[in-house]
Amino acid sequence: MAMTPLLDGPGIISPACGPLLKLGAPLSFWGGVDPATGRIIQVRHPECGRSIAGVVLALPATIGSSSSAAVLLELIRNGNAPAALLLVEPDAILLIGCVVAKEMGWPAPPAFQITAEAQAALTPGIYSFAADGSFTKTDT
Amino acid sequence: MSLALTLEDRALLNGEGGEAAALAMRVLVETARLMGAEKLIPIASAHIDGALYHGDAGTLFAEKLVAGGAKVAVRSTLNVGALDLHCGAKTRLPAHEHAMAKRMMLAYEAMGCEASWTCAPYQAGHRPSLGSDVAWGESNAVAFCNSVLGARTNRYGDYLDICCAITARAPSYGLHIPKNRLARFALDCSGLSAELRDSEVFWPVIGTLYGQKAGNDVGVVLGLENYATEDRLKAFGAAAASAGAVGLFHILGVTPEAPDMKTVAGGDHALPVIPVTPAMLGSARAGLSTSTEAKIDAVAIGSPHCSVEELLALDGLIAGRRLAVPFYACTGRHAVKALEAAGRRAAIEAAGVTLVADTCIVVTPILSAISGVLMTNSGKFAHYAPGNTGYGVQYGALKDCVESAVSGRLMRDERLWQ
């Protein structure tokens, strides 16, 4: 099984590896994630308190603020970005963070498109993604 | 379909408009490919959300654009920054962050953006015409621009907004395309009491409910024909865009693309209708408050930024009394100047209101402590304050906010909701 890469070119980290964090609700990065640490701070979010730094982040949807790209860009520069983003639909607001990071010369995490069903079926483990979206999983 | 670029697009991409314009075009082209756009379209204006400091990365990007000779090619207003450069409200930003936030604001002004510094640019004279394509950022401004003005924009996130402004272009996808603007569901409020629908405090709550139901879908709200005002629509859109990925909403008989069901739905087919019950509304309203305490430590209003009418309403409700807890009214320079012209700025400040211009209490640390209970009449503040400020929230009407600020205890009129 492979997922569809949404970003390509030099500047996108490959391979990308990290433990899966599957969010139980949509998340706005701005107002939802601390840009300094990567911790989820939206108190109404089921994963509030968890960190998205270094994880393979499966997002059911992104919502809310148009500043989410800015938060992702800060996380990329300060080393607390997710290892990879798994999205059901391409999201221009969030992924601009990766696009701009490439322009700034800061290595950015890859993003892959995955169906909602396939995302729901993902099981915990360490995932490692190649640039083409193929991946391997190690159980933890 | 793949992206087709014009000769002019390619010239910009090849650096003929300068280094920064080429960078901006690369960002636009990558976004266009990502979103499946077939072309880039000209835009009439931009509203830039990217000048708010979240960390040094954003400042460095803005300064890279300036160094590359970036100038905006269309009218571009600025959303809030992290500092109040107009009324001088103090932030608790440490020295380094303060300096970087100011550098960021100056970089955006250096690119030719207007120093509007407001999240309600549509009340500061920036009102694009019906049917025009624009590139706006800031979720509430996007919702208002699409829904109330009928101009066409996607939810342009930070950094794409300035790239659109520099190139005077936007990727053609989403809400720029008329068929994507049609309603696909209806939320029916006609079963609710007229008194409730005609109250200010109702609009952020129904907006929140709409956002929760809509996600990123487009819907039409029924039963509000006689109750909408510009400030109520502003409050609805801000709450909706906080609770969901809402870029466009319609209100039947009110917003310009919803004169009747056939027009808003794009045909005679029936839309799925969600009837709004008092219980649904009660649940949305309860979700806006996170605190159960009776003590109030601060009050904040103005997300989106208060209009001068809202500031004058505040003045009227205070009625010469002195407020017992800190009260922040977030607004834009345009409204502060209008308040001065009305001769009421000194009176509001003497009562204990801190006017915050250019920024607001959830985007930069202005509140005097890092925890406590904040009361607000804003659905958007209620949504974001707990995460961004550490405060618990109590949601209520503007009148409730003023009475609570006078007494220091939660005073909330529940009669409307019973």
Name the closest residue on chain B to residue A5, using Cα atoms. Answer: B34
Name the residue among A7, A43, A104 with its Cβ closest to that of B387: A43
Kindly state the DSSP code that residue A139 receives in the 8-state scheme.
Answer: -
Name the residue among B23, B54, B386 with its Cβ closest to that of A103: B23
Segment A63-84 shows an average pLDDT of 91
pLDDT in tens, B377-417: 999 999 999 988 999 999 999 999 999 999 999 999 999 99
Residue A2's pLDDT is: 78
Distance from B211 to chain A by nearest Cα, in Å? 9
**φ and ψ of A33, to 5 deg:** -135, 135
pLDDT over threshold 80, residue A63? no
**Cross-strand pairs, A56:** A20, A84
Segment A4-27 shows an average pLDDT of 94
The CA distance from B259 to B183, in Å, is 12
H/E stretch holding A58 = strand A56-59
* Chain A contact present for B109, CB below 8 A: no
As annotated, the active-site residues of A are: 65
Residue B396's pLDDT is: 98
pLDDT in tens, B227-260: 999 999 999 999 999 998 899 999 999 999 999 9
Put simply, the answer to whether B27 touches A70 (Cβ < 8 Å) is: no
Name the closest residue on chain B to residue A105, using Cα atoms. Answer: B61
Of chain B, the percentage scoring pLDDT greater than 90 comes to 96
Distance from B72 to chain A by nearest Cα, in Å? 18
pLDDT over threshold 70, residue B304? yes
Distance from B315 to chain A by nearest Cα, in Å? 30
Q: Is the ipTM of this complex over 0.85?
A: yes
Q: Domain B289-412: which topology? A: Aconitase; domain 3 (3.30.499)
pLDDT over threshold 70, residue A118? yes
Of chain A, the percentage scoring pLDDT greater than 70 comes to 98
Name the closest residue on chain B to residue A26, using Cα atoms. Answer: B244
Q: In CATH, what is the architecture of B7-179?
A: 2-Layer Sandwich (3.30)
Place of tokens 């990925």: B245
Residue B14's pLDDT is: 97
Name the closest residue on chain B to residue A48, using Cα atoms. Answer: B387
Binning pLDDT at 50, 70 and 90, where does residue A15 land? very high
The CA distance from B49 to B137, in Å, is 5
Could you tell me how many CB contacts below 8 A there are between chain A and chain B?
A: 134
Write the single-letter amino acid at A19. P
Put simply, the answer to whether A103 touches B27 (Cβ < 8 Å) is: yes
* Chain A contact present for B139, CB below 8 A: yes
Contact indicator for B211, B248 with CB cutoff of 8 Å: no
Name the residue among B54, B160, B244 with its Cβ closest to that of A35: B54
Place of tokens 């483990």: A125
pLDDT in tens, B161-199: 999 999 999 999 999 999 999 999 999 999 999 999 999
Are B7-179 and B289-412 the same fold in CATH?
A: yes
Segment B119-136 shows an average pLDDT of 98
Segment B363-387 shows an average pLDDT of 94
pLDDT over threshold 70, residue B337? yes
List the domain range (segments joined by +) for residue A102: 4-138
Residue B147's pLDDT is: 98
pLDDT over threshold 90, residue B349? yes
Beta strands in B270-315 (DSSP E): 273-275, 298-306
* Chain A contact present for B61, CB below 8 A: yes
Domain of A61, CATH number, reads 3.50.30.10
Contact indicator for B62, B155 with CB cutoff of 8 Å: no
**φ and ψ of B52, to 5 deg:** -90, 125
Put simply, the answer to whether B160 touches A96 (Cβ < 8 Å) is: yes
The CA distance from A71 to A35, in Å, is 5
Distance from A139 to chain B by nearest Cα, in Å? 32
Q: Where are the domains of chain B?
A: 7-179, 182-286, 289-412
Beta strands in B1-134 (DSSP E): 40-42, 45-48, 75-78
Put simply, the answer to whether B215 touches A106 (Cβ < 8 Å) is: no
pLDDT over threshold 90, residue B317? yes
Residue A1's pLDDT is: 66
Put simply, the answer to whether A43 touches B34 (Cβ < 8 Å) is: no
Q: What is the mean pLDDT of chain B?
A: 96
pLDDT in tens, B54-77: 999 999 999 999 999 999 999 999
Put simply, the answer to whether B159 touches A70 (Cβ < 8 Å) is: yes
Of chain A, the percentage scoring pLDDT greater than 90 comes to 79
Segment B129-153 shows an average pLDDT of 97
